[in-house]
Structure 1
Amino acid sequence: MNPALEPPRTTPSPRRVSFILPCRNAARHLGALVDALRDLVVPPGWEMEIVAGCQASRDDTLQILKERGVTIAPSNELGAGAARNAAVRSSRGSLLVFMDSDTLPADNELLVRIIRKAEELGTFGGLGGPIRLHPSQAWNPVAIADHYACWFNWTESRASGVTRLFQPTTFFVMPRDVFEQVGGFDVRFLILEDCELQDRVIAANKLLYFDRSLSVFHYARGSLLQSCKHSWAWGPPFREYFLEHPPLPRWLITGKRRWFWLNLPSIFWVRLGIIFMKTRREPWARMLYGLPFLLATVLAWSLGATFGKGSGIGGAER
């Protein structure tokens, strides 16, 4: 049974927001995130709480959470989805805000804007916004490359409105009743679990929204080796998806496993072209500065998408 389907341990409050944090070896940035969340402006009549789905860690993650009085929900299953499910079960909010431990609100008015937008929409399936590179990494070329290789779809220049493109749970807002209706995160997915969840949200005829006023900062990987390893790991699920659903034009992907490696140049250049198209309004000097490392990171992803092995993924636009 999916843990998200189990009855909540507490009665949800209709005017409470729960910040849900998956935590495993998260000590590096976790304290700053919790402190920033504590400093958020809370609209009159509303309450907020911070709940961490905590998994076994080799660093000071647990100590940081305890020192700051964060509600801790232990999770013994592997994966961020399992940690989030555990945290939701221990939370009391009617509105769930998922954030990763290496993010920060862009300013202390974020919660005000989240609630305002949620009330404006009324009924919705999910809500997100831009994921921005943390200012401290603005001129770190490896971080620039890592950021745009991952988050090219979620820039400040993207238009607000209804979308079929999933919002990473790096920052994602979701009504609790929708989360429970679709069954929470499928713990079998160790990556792209947010995409798979939102495929089910769309299948349930719930709308996803992107609002560029709702932005967060994210710390990118500052090591080229870490960036390439991450990009390689995310490639295999796309390989399985490409084999089952060849994109147009069809000559880009043969759909035949034996000859699939021939598509490496096409996969690389198409991916790079999409990134350039999506980020064309970003600061050009920054993009140029990180370009050599972006090429390496995209190549690592393309190799994973060509030769890697992994599970299939859902059908949302990517």
Structure 2
Amino acid sequence: MPKAAPQVSLIIPAWNEAELLGRTLDNLRQACDGLPESYEIIVVDNDSDDDTPDIARAAGAVVVHEPVRRIARARNAGAKVARGHWLIFVDADTWPSRALLRASLDALASGEVCAGGARLEFDHLEYGFYRLGSRFWNWLSLRLGLVAGCYVFCTREAFQAVGGFSEKVYAGEEVFLSRRLKRWGRRHGQRFHVLPEPTVRTSGRKAQWFSPWQHFLVTATVLLVPFALRSRRLTWFWYRRPTQKP
């Protein structure tokens, strides 16, 4: 007999994440093993040239290859093979707690929530500029009902109904998804809910990779010229590593 479908699918997009992926997968296993719901972990290798897919396989994850380097495509590729009724998208440098997973699943199981996310808690933010930015984002997230892409939960029904993440953009796809899911939820008597607690812990490595000035420049570009999100060149911030040129 075919194996029963899991209740929850956790989807991780990953490009050259050999350094952190093992930690992330260990964290997810430990968090999920304490929950009664059945689950699967899917890692989408977004054309890595390091050991990312091998690390994922060794950890028992389902591995999918997405050859086109675009974050939205990677997330959608994972959703296409996911078998769970509930989907949770987690970045390779993000470590949700068991309490956060429990709160997310309880929200979805209530039938009142179609999707949502959590407030962020960053690792190692040394400068006040970054801490201020983090607090502002968390305020904005709760106020406007927007989620960061590092942690998004939703029902499969809602995700498929709105067409998943927009593949027209190279970054910010979670903001567009949030808006569509909120509209869908209103039509179906459900809410889009950003959990105030527990927070989700995620890496602050971009604060180490890029200067405050670079962060400011990218933020200003996106706010003043939203069309920039459709440009691979102008969204270099999301695709560049310290050893690479934009």
**Does the alignment reach a TM-score above 0.5?**
yes
Looking at CA atoms only, which structure, 1 or 2, has the larger radius of gyration? 1
Matched to 1:69, the amino acid is G
Structure holding more strand per residue: 2
Residues 63/231 of structure 1: CA separation in 2 closer, same or farther (3 Å cut): farther
**Is 1:225 equivalent to 2:219 in the alignment?**
no
Residue equivalent to 2:164:
184
Residues 28/159 of structure 1: CA separation in 2 closer, same or farther (3 Å cut): closer
Q: Give the superposed CA RMSD.
A: 2.8
Q: CA deviation at 1:186?
A: 1.2
TM-score of the aligned structures, taking structure 1 as reference length: 0.62
Aligned residue pairs total: 223
Residues 19/147 of structure 1: CA separation in 2 closer, same or farther (3 Å cut): farther
Residue equivalent to 2:20:
29
Equivalent residues of 1:80, 1:190 under 8 A apart:
yes
Residues 65/127 of structure 1: CA separation in 2 closer, same or farther (3 Å cut): same
Residues 92/228 of structure 1: CA separation in 2 closer, same or farther (3 Å cut): farther
Residue equivalent to 2:240:
none
Q: CA deviation at 1:149?
A: 2.2
Residue equivalent to 2:116:
127
Matched to 1:172, the amino acid is V
Residues 84/224 of structure 1: CA separation in 2 closer, same or farther (3 Å cut): closer
Residue equivalent to 2:221:
236
SS in structure 2 opposite 1:36? helix
Equivalent residues of 2:120, 2:134 under 8 A apart:
no
**Which residues of structure 2 form unaligned runs of 5+?**
231-246
Partners of 1:59 and 1:159 lie apart in 2 by: 34
Match of 1:70 among 61, 84, 88: 61
SS in structure 1 opposite 2:103? helix
Mapping 1:34-45, distance limit 5 Å: 34-40=25-31, 41-44=33-36
Matched to 2:146, the amino acid is F
Equivalent residues of 2:87, 2:154 under 8 A apart:
yes
Identity %: 22
SS in structure 2 opposite 1:49? strand
TM-score of the aligned structures, taking structure 2 as reference length: 0.79
Equivalent residues of 2:149, 2:174 under 8 A apart:
yes
**Which residues of structure 1 form unaligned runs of 5+?**
1-9, 242-308, 313-318
Mapping 1:12-27, distance limit 5 Å: 13=5, 16-27=7-18
Equivalent residues of 1:166, 1:195 under 8 A apart:
yes
Residues 194/222 of structure 1: CA separation in 2 closer, same or farther (3 Å cut): closer
Q: CA deviation at 1:52?
A: 1.3
